[in-house]
Structures are given as C-alpha cells and as structure tokens.
Chain A
Amino acid sequence: MSKTVGIPKGLLYYDFYPMWKTFFEGVGAKVVVSQDTNKKILDEGVKNCVEDACLPVKTYVGHVINLKEKNVDYIFIPRIVSVERKKYLCSKFLGLPDFIKSLIGDLPPIIDIEINYYKNNDEFTQKEFIKVGRMFGKTEDQSLKAYFEATHQQKKFESLLKKGLTNLEALKVWEGKNLVKEESNYDLKIAVIAHPYDIMDEYISMGIIEKLKNMGAQVYTMEMLERDLILEGASMLSKEMFWNYERDILGAGLYFLKQKNVDGVIMVSAFGCGPNSMTEELLERIFKREKEVPFMLITIDEHSGEDGIMTRLEAFTDLLRFNKKAVMV
C-alpha cells in the first residue's frame, strides 16, 4: 500500500498545491489534504498556537492537527525560504517546520525540505525534492522526473490564474472540476489585494470575494496580474521590497492606482501581520495623496464578525456606485 502524505490546507497551499500534489503522486505517495477550515480546526489552531501569531498561522496549526487525526504517514511542512531570486518570504515561513514541531507533540514524520530560490538556481530545490523521493524509495531520475512534471503542472495552474481565475477557482479547474457558471452582469470592478491565504480561505475571510461578487462586483486579485505589470507598479517605489509577496501587494496596488482600471481597491490582511503593517502604511498613504481610487483596509482575525464585514463591504460598494453616478452627471 502506498504511503500517505498530508498537506495542510493553509498558507501557501493556495499557491503551490498543484506542484506539491503532482510531485508526491509522481513518487508514488497518496496525497491527503486536510478539511476545509471550520470552527473546530480554527479553535484547535488557536488553542495550540502562540497567542500573538497571525490568523493564517493559527489556522495552519489547526490543519496540521486535523491531518494528525487522520493518521497520515507523513505531513508535508516545507521550509519555504524564497521563491524568487533575492527575495525572501515572511519570517514565519522560514521557521515554519521548527515552529510547528515545537507546538504540537506526537506528530507523524514531517517532510520539512527547504525550498529556496534565493540564489536563483533550481538545483538546490531539486536536491531537496530528490531527498523526498528517496524517502519513498525512488531513484534520483525518478524523483527528477516527478519534479519536472510538478513544475509543469504548477505552470499550468499559474496560467489559469492569469486568465482571471482566483486561486480557489484555478485549483478547481486544475483538478478537473467544473466551475459554477457566474452571471456576468457586474457593474463594478474591485481589486482585492491580499495574501491568498487570507482571502482564499473562505472560512477565515468570511467569503469576502463571494460577497463582493454577490454585490455585483467583478473581483481582481494580484495573482491575476502578469508579472511585468506588478513589477511596473513596484518600480514606482524607491526601494524594492525584499519579500516577493509584499512586493506583489505593493506592485499590484500601485498598478491599479496608476491605471485606474478598477473602481476601488480593498486590502485585506490578518490581525498583527508584520509585513502588511509596512505595505498597508505605504499603500494607504499613496492612495490618500493621489485621491483617485477609493481604498479600504479590512483586518481579519479569529473574532471578526460576518455582519461587520458585510456592512463595510456594502458601504464601500455603495460609495463606488455613488462615485460612478456623480461622474456620469
């Protein structure tokens, strides 16, 4: 019987699941994903995590516990240091496997390979994946083959994002599921800028994206933008951000501000998010100075109420529609 590998449905799951899944299946493992976030998962996460950790990390802890309860043979918690040359990820990703191991006892073996493209060579990360392959009794060639297939699938997934699908929708399409057909009578265009792990988890974000769609807004996320557009936006700053996702947030925000191709921008971040305290501050100030595109910040945490979010979204969409009418008259 093939071994099972658990992948927690949190943090960078929404960005890299196709790659990870393809690789593990390529080396003969069976992939088990934790459940969608629910009250139990979040409660377990909050209970077992450090109080000051951000919401997505607490949720992630809950997902790891969920996998532990499913008795998987391994849990995949990679140490993702960098996914782009000369760019880091937030500190929590650098210490994630160590952190999780310290928090939760009696875990099955953790696959904690290091994913690190800081020096821009694929070789380091390939070697790490070969190590994983060896755990499943695969030779170097077999692992490499699985790795290349995995990166191929990842590219396929990313091209779906660029077609205007959100990460969640793209994951569905990639897995061969059909999307629910949307009515397309949107009269607003809203950019939602955030880490995918904050807005793609429908439980912790309280379905912000769905809600906006129901209010008649077409939603754009930063993953839908082509890389050069983001870089174009980011180039307006005097020093480029050293975290690639924060660079993307700033770049996407500034791009939308410059192009004015959306009616409004909403930035969503988790309570106590360190990196976002920098990007929010900058974006908010720049948007205020320009006074061209309305900008709203939403902070989510484990105590956020759905009604509060609903009211703010309604107020924001009302304001955008009001703006539009004012322009027409």
Chain B
Amino acid sequence: MKITYPHMGSLNMILKTMFEGIGVEVIDPPPSTNKTLTLGVRNSHEFACLPFKINVGNFIEALDRGADTIIMLGGIGPCRFGYYGQVQREILKDLGYDFKMIIVDPPHGRLIDFLKELASHFPNVDGKTALKSFVFAVKKMIAADKLEKFLLKLRAHEDNPGVTTKIYEEYIKKLEKAQDGKEVDKIVSEAMKKIKENANVRRKIQLKVALVGEIYMLLEPFTNMDISKSLNELGVEVTKTEYLSDYLINSAFKLPQRMEFKKNARGYLERDIGGHGLNTVANTVKYAKLKYDGVIHILPFTCTPEIVAQGIIAKVSRDYNIPVMSLVYDENTGQAGYQTRLEAFVDLLYRKRLDVVV
C-alpha cells in the first residue's frame, strides 16, 4: 500500500510522520505548482472551489508517481467539503486511475473518534505504535505552527530582505526529518534565535493585520500566493487566525474555542453556518476589538459560507471602524493585481494611523 493525501499547510509533514511511524509507505504529492492547479482545473467543475481543484491536481500527480491509496477527509455538511472525496473519486475513476480511496468521516468534535475511524482502515497496525507516532506527529505540527506564528511577526522587522524566509524554510526541512521530541525542540529554539537576530528594524508606526477566512486558503501559501510574505515585506506584522494545531489542541481538550467563536460573533452571526464562516466573523470582531489596524479576509471563489461572512464583516468593519478587505481567489487570480491591492490597503492603514497621530 502506497498512501498519499492532499496538501494542506503543515498537514503533509504530520501525515508523513504518522504513517511512516506505523510502517506504511507514503508518496508525498509533489509541492503544489501551477501545473497542479492546471490539472485540477481541467478536471473539475468550474464552480468547485480552489481547494477542490488543487486536491484533484495533487491526487493526479501523486497517482502518477505510483501512489495507490488516497486518504481524504469526509464530512456531514453543511460545507460541501464533506462530499469532495466522493466527487473526486468519480473524477479520478473517469481518468482511468486504479486506486483505493479512504474517506474518513470526521468526528463531531472528538479527536478520538477520528483516530478510531482511521485506525479501522489499518487492521494490522498495533495501537500503541500508532498512538506513539500520532503524538509525535502532533508535536511536530505544533512546533511548525509555533515557528510560523513567530515568522509572521518577526519577518516584518528583518534587516536583510529574504534572509528570514530562507532560515525558516531551512528549519522546516530539518523539522520534517527530525526523529524525536528533543530534536524538534532544539530545531525550533535555534530557528527562533536566528530569525530574531535578523529582525532589528523598528518603525514609528507599526501596522498589524489579521488574516481571516477559509482555512485551506490560509494554510496553503501556494493558494494565497504567500500573502503573509507579501504583507511582511511591506512591513506589516501578520496574525493568521487558523492553524491546524489550534484545532487539534482544542478538539482534544473539549471545545472552548467554539464557544469563544460564538461569543465573539454574537450580534452578527448567530450560528455555525458550515465551513469557517462563523470563525471568520468571530475573528474579525476579535481583532477589531484588539485594535488591529486592518483585517484581510481571504476566500476561494464560490465558497458559500465565506460569502455570507463577507457580507457580515462589512458591517463589522463599519461598526468598529476597521478597514476590512476581502480577497477572492480562483485559478485566474494574478499575483500582480493582488500585490497592488495589498499595497493600496497598507497605504490606507498607514494614512489612517497618521490621521490619528496628527
């Protein structure tokens, strides 16, 4: 059995660690590129969202490399993601691939159910080994996310442009190869130290922007054209609001996060509407209250929950007097166009602060 899975932020590192830990061969899909996207677009419905199309591209590339089993998440709605696996299977079948697709329907909030479900597909693996490799994988994920959070803040202050990104990429690779917990800790602290040494630029007006929106778009730098990097290079500190590790930690220790979302969104959106619509609204309110300079909302074209959220956060923007910009991504999005919009947005935030100072 040669397993593959779709790319999603640090997820591939985690899954690789986990499956190799239980002795299953893994074929990583090649990093998402324009070719991946083209393959996905060519074989998907025009109104399927960007994540769907990239998934399809990832699968095709991984199957071409010899993978024969695909792991995909399922769901029970109302986000259409829950049906992606079913549709993708038909697409790949029509393309003539011979493969097995394992669609794991996620738990309703409880991590342990998810693991049980996943484990049922691997009857020969001993539970203890599986649990051990899972715990280690989660440790890596938390480490990677911690490093990224640090990066998004400090890169805005870097002395030599580009150096921080290089350091980060180098250490993420090291992290992927790390064999035990001690090594992981060492890599993270070393990387943080190095990044810090290269971050000494201080500004009179330091802008802070929160990135909210659909989780896949936030987690995959390829799909959002590395928007955090673009913002950092414009001297803006970035706070990304969705990390996989946050979900894992929160679903393992009950659900305080959900309650927090509901509380923050109260008055604007009164219930979960599927996908990450509620999170988007809640996070926009949260960072508006924290006096951030602006919020950037990123979503894939035709994502219904985020479209609803988009309408609602426009009101949050008016009520809290915080600039909010929604960026919609699809396969036709051009980097230059969005770079211009980001620059204009940052200019606007800067001027808004100047007005206050004067």
Contacts and interface: CB of A to CB of B under 8 A. Distances in A.
Given A91-B304, A239-B86, A274 B49 contact: yes
A241 B75 CA distance: 10
A52 B301 contact: yes
Interface string A194-232: 000000000000000000000000000000000000000
Interface string A65-90: 00000000000000101000011111
B307 A88 contact: no
B76 A99 contact: no
B271 interface: yes
A98 B312 contact: yes
A91 B277 contact: yes
A186 interface: no
B78 A278 contact: no
A277 interface: yes
**Residue among A92, A239, A274, A276 with max Cβ neighbours from chain B (10 Å):** A274
Contact of A277 (B45, B91, B305): B45
A238 interface: yes
A243 B87 contact: no
Contact of B308 (A81, A95, A280): A95
Interface string B71-112: 000111111101110110011001000000001000000000
Contacts of A276: 47
Contacts, number: 130
Interface string A268-297: 000111111110111001100100000000
Contact of A50 (B44, B49, B311): B311
A94 interface: yes
Interface string A4-15: 000000000000
A89 B78 CA distance: 7
B268 to A, nearest CB: 6
Interface string A246-283: 00000000000000000000000001111111101110
B302 A239 contact: no
Contacts of A114: 271
Interface string B270-292: 11111101000000000000000
Interface of B: 44-49, 52, 74-80, 82-84, 86-87, 90-91, 94, 103, 268-275, 277, 301-305, 307-312, 314-315, 328
19 contacts: A86-B76, A88-B77, A88-B78, A90-B304, A92-B308, A95-B309, A99-B312, A102-B314, A103-B314, A239-B103, A242-B77, A272-B302, A273-B47, A273-B302, A274-B47, A274-B49, A274-B80, A278-B80, A282-B90
Interface of A: 49-50, 52-54, 79, 81, 86-92, 94-99, 101-103, 114, 237-239, 241-243, 271-278, 280-282, 285-286, 289
Given A79-B271, A94-B274, A243-B77, 14 more contacts: A50-B310, A52-B310, A90-B78, A91-B308, A94-B308, A98-B270, A99-B312, A101-B315, A242-B82, A243-B78, A277-B49, A278-B45, A278-B48, A278-B80
